Chains A and B, each alone.
Chain A
Amino acid sequence: MCDITAVLSVDLLAQVLDWLHDSRDLKSCRLVSRAFLQAERMHRRAIRPLRLGPLPVLLRRYVGSLLSLDLSSCPSLDDSALSLSIPCPNNLRSVSLSRATGITWRGLEVLVSVCPKIEAIDISHCVGFGDREAAAVAKACWLKELRIDKCLKVTDVGLAKVAVGCSRLEKLGIKWCFEISDIGIDLLVKKCLELRELDISYLKVGNESLRSIASLPKLEDLALVGCEYIDDEGLYFLSNGNSSLQSIDVSRCLNVTSVGLTTLVEGQQRLRKINAGNCSPVLTSTFVSKLCTLGDTLIILKLDKLQISASALEIVGKNCRNLLEIGLSKCNGVTDEGISWLVEGCTHLSTIDLTCCLLVTDKSLFSIAACCRGVKCLRLESCVLISEKGLDQIATCCTDLKEIDLTDCNVNDNALKCLSRCSELLVLKIGLCSGVSDIGLSFIGSNCSKLLELDLYRCTAITDDGLAAISNGCKRMKKLNLCYCNQISDIGLAHLQLEELSDLELRGMVRITSSGITAMAMGCRGLTQLDLKRCYSVDDAGIWALAQYTENLRQLTISYCTVTGLGLCHILGSLRCLQDVKMVHLSWVSIEGFELALRASCGKLKKVKLLGKLQDVLSTELLQNLQARGCRIRWVNKPLVFKG
């Protein structure tokens, strides 16, 4: 057998690999030969290990070329594991430790010191992190990108540490860091003049912060979602600042009105993205007319839950001709007339969100189909007046459609038949459409082979055959929701042979038993999230199968299942990736069973949901140990109610 690298040099192979994006394809490529493995190793820039065990070996193998390391899905990652795994001379530029609750500031300090070139760090959702962790991160003086979203204990002091230490910061996310105040923001702005993106959503900061932020010379993207202390005065400061702003998100800022938005638009003429959803609901005509002065630069406009008249949409349509995305979710007053005015002008629209626009009918769909042929995403949840006629038109004209949300739209099999013509469809949501049956699904299964996500929530007419059609046709499916489709049995579940499937929801499927779960687990080994809540017939056998076959399972809900202590102990002990377990109302599990199972989890768990009564009977030592390892326990006090 001749060496293939003699024909195909490593350089050429690397160029080929540039075109491979699917992890499955890369895997098969790796398996060809040692030479291919070597080429793939040299080519790889990013890695996202799922388990801790092979981490040091993996990193040592890839260390030369690796730029990006994502440890967010590594369970039981702690300081010593982190410092042991990261090899010392490395070129790492980006490290993600999102949700790595086992890490402390010591680990971060080591990370920063061994990765001298590090430019991006993500420690978001490490809820226990505070100023000391921020100070450790701040020692990475070359940092350009930092996310500390939901590090709940970070205060102004921590932010100041970051601001002083990382003065080259370009992107910063401090969403949900509730302790940060105007003073901290002011210092940040004074120290980090390179900031381009800033997310201060949900912070309790006021207009003074915006006054400071306005002086940032390079700021392009500002997110202020849910900043309840910010009002029009703050936006006035922003409008007088540097006119570099390109994107602003003031959604859920309840005190922001059209007046503030008008002044903002007046001052910031380069704005490309505006999200003003869920602000003070009245949209004045002056704002709309000012909006038009932005003209062709505006590409994204979200006005969720605002009062919008047809004439306003007409003005937008006539002036903002380059609009790519419009969000009109829950907008009162959106009519067919308004939509037709809008789409006549904005022919480049690719995303149209009409969620809960109750007045929209097929006429809107006709005009969308006629004008916006390039539309890729259409959200029509709860647009109850639309029918298969409109969808037929859409499917005929908008062949590029990738995502459509028809939840609660009362569509039927005919509509699905029409939609199945969109062969590019990736996401289909038809939850709560009780009119959809196996026939409709068979159209989808036979034509939409690229489908990645299918939502069949409470499509109660679907049976085993429908599921079989989908499983056979859409082999790339990653996410499937079958909740409360209670006609599906073990036979249907056995058809689920989807290697790519990572997220499966089987909540409330009362007919399935352990044998169905076993069959499914053998077919869908890549599962990371599984919801078996209220699958009353699933017992230890099913759990054992999961423990055996779905090694990557990270999130598991087994509330109300007939699992015993033994099964629980086994699954918590053997699944190495498991991080989040919801196990409420496991009546067959004894207190000792819970105790043993939680001990068996060995500190991998980051989130546990348990019945509140257990709080008093479980040993405090165990609970303290869990919490010390970064595990959050949610105690639920719900009565045990069986629902069919």
Chain B
Amino acid sequence: MKQTIEEPLIESSSDSKMDLKLTRNSESFHKPNSSNHNLNSFNPVPQYFPNLTPPDFLSRAQNLQQNLKTKSNNSFEPNLNSGMATQNPPLDWDPHAMLSNLSFLEQKIHEVQSLVQSIIDQQAQFSGRPSELATRQQLATADLTCIIIQLISTAGSLLPSIKNTLLSNNPALRQLVNPDFNNNLKFEGLIRNFPETTKNSEYEDLIRNLDNEADWMKEPNPPPESDVVDTNPIDEHDLKESDDGDAEREHLPPGSYIVLQLEKEEILAPHTHFCVICGKGFKRDANLRMHMRGHGDEYKTPAALAKPSKEPGSDAHPVTRYSCPFVGCKRNKEHKKFQPLKTILCVKNHYKRSHCDKSYTCSRCHAKKFSVIADLKTHEKHCGRDKWQCSCGTTFSRKDKLFGHVALFQGHTPALPMDEVKASGSLQGNDEMTEDLGGYNGNFASEECLTGLDVKGIDEARGYFSPMNFDGFGALDEFGRGGFDLEDNPFAFIPSGFGQRSGDS
């Protein structure tokens, strides 16, 4: 069992640099299992469930409850056949396999029964040797755990037909959440792969996970707000804070972290979760996990299917940072002053902002363009209200914000209102006057000349300023120009075409 589960997981962790969560999840699942030696003595699961396609979580859950219910009522006398088969006639369901599973369960339950009976019988003898009693109890627990796992697996085959009705109709699931009931059966440690899991809350976590995941499947559209957010590694708020600049502040010594570099296609793919085997992308990790079950039984275990834990063992994973695939970029690992990106999301945002076309245009002003849709949304919130503009192009909704910005940067000044409108006229006016002066060539270094000096593609300029917080995201790109907009700009008198060339080099 250990071998069969472990092998593809190792493979995935070495192959897929992207879906770390999955790797983490399966590894943590693996750990407590291997520590429990008792499990090895039991029959490996695959042997008994060879044809479970497609395995499903909820049917296992249902089976689990029903089984547990009967257990609690009938002192582990299962009567599964009648209940399951009559209630839910599934479509592609192998009744023979199910029968063999159930007979195995029956056998197993009998074993446990006899074990517990023997404990009761020899209670007097055990009083002198508490260690032996403990060993027996451990054995019983292990057996029970095995039963539960197999119950879940068995029930998995039933799920496709019942998933729509299960949670709304089945009162047994609600009973499952009952903490008293929970106290009696201490099997969480095996299912939830926590080293020490005797707390009720964690069991409840599992149940809630089942609950939520079932909910997603009911609705084709985005997951509910409350708990599901946890499965998404970074929500919208995080997105903004963990921007490009974050990794810079860390100052990790080179070599202390692993550098991963995703390909351009991966970065630009609309999905964030990828199957390590077939490469199919998913928007949600839960959907990926569901998908993974199709690739083998090792992905069908509750641990593999469960939501990744919130606090993964940080020691187990080396610090990972990301490199931008754009050669020459400061965020590319080949760069002399390489500054790694902190998360995949940072990579995506950085790559889009810096190396992609800005395809999203503001629907209000039709002027500002963005490559990251979140940036557009942020801009649209303020668009039209930003009447305070800096000479660098950054706009602000409040005068004091603009003046704070101007105070911070050398050479930036507030733009005069209606600058663009009058700008063309101003150049003409200047020309006329120079003619009047008879050969005198004034240095009309007006701002219009400077706007020609676009410095797209220079990452230095952008990277240099990026740690600063701006009022809006759109500021970042306009800001690149700021480095060249200074009063004592050496290119100020050079025709704009030249400036562009020098900018690109």
Contact = CB atoms under 8 A, between A and B. Distances in A.
B220 interface: no
Contacts of B422: 132
Given A88-B440, A165-B413, A106 B429 contact: yes
A370 interface: no
Given A132-B416, A161-B414, A106 B433 contact: yes
Given A80-B433, A187-B403, A157 B416 contact: yes
B442 to A, nearest CB: 4
B490 to A, nearest CB: 15
A609 to B, nearest CB: 33
Interface string B381-414: 0000000000000000001100100110001111
B401 to A, nearest CB: 10
Contact of A183 (B399, B411, B442, B445): B399
Interface string B467-488: 0000000000000000000010
Interface string A185-215: 0110011000000000000000000000000
A184 B403 contact: yes
A135 B487 CA distance: 13
A110 interface: yes
A463 interface: no
A190 B413 contact: no
B196 interface: no
Nearest to A191: B407
A161 B437 CA distance: 27
A540 interface: no
Contact of B417 (A113, A157, A160, A186): A157
Interface residues of B, number: 24
A113 B444 CA distance: 8
Contacts of B445: 139
B183 interface: no
A447 to B, nearest CB: 56
Given A109-B430, A109-B444, A161-B414, A84 B406 contact: no
Interface string B424-448: 0010011001001100101111000
A83 B437 CA distance: 7
A88 B437 contact: yes
B487 A141 contact: yes
Given A157-B416, A164-B406, A79 B433 contact: yes
A160 B403 contact: yes
A114 interface: yes
Contact of A106 (B406, B407, B416, B430): B430
Interface string A47-89: 0000000000000000000000000000000011001100010
A186 B400 CA distance: 10
Given A79-B433, A83-B433, A110-B433, A186 B403 contact: yes
Given A156-B403, A160-B403, A183-B403, A165 B487 contact: yes
Contacts of B429: 106
A348 B400 CA distance: 49
A88 B414 CA distance: 30
A110 B436 CA distance: 11
A84 B437 CA distance: 6
A141 B445 CA distance: 13
B58 to A, nearest CB: 61
B249 to A, nearest CB: 26
A160 B433 contact: no
Contacts of A186: 403, 407
B434 to A, nearest CB: 9
Nearest to A138: B413
Contact of A187 (B407, B433, B443): B407
Max count, chain B CB within 10 A of own CB: residue among A83, A131, A164: A164
A392 to B, nearest CB: 62
B310 to A, nearest CB: 45
Contacts of A157: 414, 416-417
Nearest to A88: B440
A131 B443 CA distance: 21
B413 A164 contact: yes
B442 A113 contact: yes
A114 B399 CA distance: 33
A160 B413 contact: yes
Contacts of A109: 430, 442, 444
Interface in A96-155: 106, 109-110, 113-114, 131-132, 135, 138-139, 141
A79 B414 CA distance: 25
A114 B436 CA distance: 13
Contacts of B436: 80, 83-84
Contacts of B406: 160, 164, 187
Max count, chain B CB within 10 A of own CB: residue among A84, A88, A156, A160: A160
A174 to B, nearest CB: 16
A114 B411 CA distance: 22
Interface in B42-63: none
Nearest to B422: A132
Nearest to A131: B416
B412 A164 contact: yes
Contacts of A141: 487
Interface string B23-52: 000000000000000000000000000000
A393 B411 CA distance: 63
Contacts of A135: 413, 416
A160 B440 contact: no
A191 B433 CA distance: 32
A184 B430 CA distance: 29
Contacts of B443: 113
Interface string A610-628: 0000000000000000000
Given A113-B444, A131-B416, A190-B407, A183 B400 contact: yes
B449 to A, nearest CB: 13
B182 to A, nearest CB: 62
A110 B443 CA distance: 9
B326 to A, nearest CB: 35
Max count, chain A CB within 10 A of own CB: residue among B414, B433, B443, B444: B414
Interface of A: 79-80, 83-84, 88, 106, 109-110, 113-114, 131-132, 135, 138-139, 141, 156-157, 160-161, 164-165, 183-184, 186-187, 190-191
6 contacts: A84-B436, A114-B442, A157-B417, A160-B413, A160-B414, A164-B411
Interface of B: 399-400, 403, 406-407, 411-414, 416-417, 422, 426, 429-430, 433, 436-437, 440, 442-445, 487
> Which 5 pairs across A and B sit closest by C-beta, in order of nearness?
A113-B442, A164-B413, A157-B414, A190-B407, A160-B414
Given A110-B437, A156-B399, 20 more contacts: A83-B436, A84-B436, A84-B437, A106-B433, A110-B433, A110-B442, A113-B443, A113-B444, A114-B440, A132-B422, A135-B413, A139-B445, A141-B487, A160-B406, A160-B413, A160-B414, A161-B416, A164-B411, A186-B407, A190-B407
